[in-house]
Structure 1
C-alpha cells in the first residue's frame, strides 16, 4: 500500500519478518532501509521486498550497540538519502524476563541498552535531517509491561516504563517542530494466536502524521 503523502525513505530498526515487514509494506511506495542483528534474516527480508519492487538498503547491527547502530544508519542514509519515517521496533529482550527477586543489574542494563539506548541512538541519527527539512515521523512499538507491571515479568515492567517515558518527553520536546512521534503499546503477543503484524503496522500508520499514543488490545487486533 502506497504512502503517498511522504516520499522520503523509511527506516526500520529491529526489522523482522513480522512487524518490521508489515511496517515496510504499510508505508509503501518509498525506499526502505532495514536494520537487524540477524544477517541471514536480513538478507531474506531485503530480497523479498526487492522482489516486490521496492528499493531497499540493509545493514546488520545490534541496536543495543550505539556505535554499530550509528554506523548502520549512516550507511543506509548514504545509500537512500534522508530518512522521512523511522520505526524502532526490536524484538523484546526475552532472556532478561524473570521474577523481580531474580532480576539482576545485568538483566536491566541489557534491556535498557536495547529499548531505550537503541531508541535514542536511532532518533539522534535521523532527527537532524528531519528538523532541517521541517518534517518527519518517529514511530515506536512497545509491549504492555508499563501498563500491567507484573512481579513475574520484572524487566519488561521497568524497561517499558523507561521507554514510554522517553517517547513521551521526546514528543513534547519536538512539539511544533514538524516531527511527529507515534507510539503503539501492544497488549498480548504478535503472531499466532495474537495480533497480526499488519494490525500493528496499521495502528502506527493511523498515528504517524499527527503523533500520539494508542494501546492495541488483543480483542482489537486478533484474527
Structure 2
C-alpha cells in the first residue's frame, strides 16, 4: 500500500464502529497514512471482514469485538491498544445507531440506548485515553457527531438528543484540553452515502420512514460521497482542526439555525408535516431494520433513487437486502 506522507505516519489509532460505513472508511484513510489500527464493533463477522480488507492493503490492524454500552469496555479497549502499540495516539469516536420514526413511536429506552452509545460511550472512551495522552502531552481525539447535534431533525429525536449531548461535550472538551497539546476535532456530518440506511432502525410506518430516509441519504445534491467525507475527517485530524462541517446542506442548516432559529424551526415543522404518520395509532411499536423495511417496501422506484447509497453499502461492508441482487442500476460517481 502506498502510504501518504502524513504527520500521522506511525501513530496508533483506535476507531470505534470501525467495521463498516464511515468508521471503516476512516480506518482505510488512517491506514493509507501509515497508522497502526485497532478497530472495534459489535458484529464479529463484519469485524472479521473489515480486518481482512484492511490487512490486504498492508495495514497493521487488529480488531476486537466490543459492546461500548458496557461501562467496562473502554478501559479494556485502551488496555488492548496499549498492549499492542504502547499507547493510543488517535481516538476516533464513531460508533452510533440511527432510530427513525415519529415521537409517538419512541420509548424512553430508545433515548437511553442512543445516549448510551453516542454520548456515554464517547465520554468513557475519552476518559480511558486521556491519562496516557496527558502524560505524553499530545494526542488527537476525533468525535463524530452530526448535523442532528446542531439542528434537531424531526423523526430522529433520540439520535438528535444524543448527538446534541456529544457535540456539546466535544466543544467543551476542546476548550479545556487546548493548553495540553491534545487536540479535539468535532465532526458534524450531514447526509452521507455510507449505506447506513440499511442498518438504521425504523418505527411507525416503517416502510415509508425508510423510503424518505434512504432517499435523502442517496441523493447527490443532499448527501456526500462517504469516501470524500472520510478523507476530509482525517485531514482535519492531521491539522488538528477544532471543527469540520460536512456537506453544503449541513453548513447552510447550521448557519440558518444560528441567525434565524425561529425560522429554522418553522421550516422543520413544515418538513415534519410531509413525513409519514405513525401508521399504527399511538404508542410504542415494533421497529425493524432498514434491510427489513426495504424488503417489505419492495419499491423499484425507491431502489433506483437510492442506487448510489445502495452501492455504497456493498462497498462499505454494510448489510444489503438479498432482493437487490435481482437487478442492477448502472451508477457513476466521482471520487
Q: TM-score, normalised by structure 2?
A: 0.61
| Structure 1 residues 125-164: aligned runs within 5 Å | 125-164=128-167
Question: Structure 1: which 4+ aligned runs deviate by more than 4 Å?
Answer: none
Taking the aligned partners of 2:147 and 2:34, their CA distance within structure 1 comes to 31
In the alignment, does 2:107 pair up with 1:78?
no
Q: Which runs of 5+ in 1 are unaligned?
A: none
Other-structure match for 2:106:
103
- The count of aligned residue pairs is 220
Output the aligned Cα RMSD: 2.1
Q: Within 5 Å, give how 1:55-66 maps onto structure 2.
A: 55-66=60-71
Task: Note if contact 2:190-2:249 (Cα within 8 Å) is conserved in structure 1.
Answer: no
**Is structure 2 residue 122 aligned with structure 1 residue 119?**
yes
The CA distance in 1 between the partners of 2:155 and 2:22, in whole Å, is: 26
Q: Cα offset for 1:10? A: 1.0
Match of 2:173 in 1: 170
- Match of 2:168, SS state, is helix
CA positional deviation for 1:151: 3.4
Pick from 182, 201, 210 the counterpart of residue 240 of structure 2. 210
Q: Given the alignment, which residue of 12, 17, 21 partners 2:20?
A: 17
1:11-55 deviation per Cα after TM superposition (whole angstroms, max 9, x unaligned): 101113332222122222121111111111111111221121111
Task: Find the structure with the greater CA-based Rg.
Answer: 2
Please tell me whether the aligned partners of residues 74 and 128 of structure 2 are also in contact (alpha carbons under 8 angstroms): no
> 1:83-128: CA deviations, max 9, x gaps?
11111111x323x433234332211111000011111111111121
The structure with more helix, counted as a fraction of residues: 2
Is the partner of 2:142 in helix, strand or coil?
A: strand
From 16, 29, 38, the equivalent of 2:34 is 29
Residues 120-163 of structure 1, C-alpha deviations (whole Å, 9 max, x = no match): 11111112111111111101212221333133221122111111
Describe the SS at the equivalent of 2:147.
coil
The structure with the largest strand share of the pair is: 1
- 2:224 maps to which residue? 195
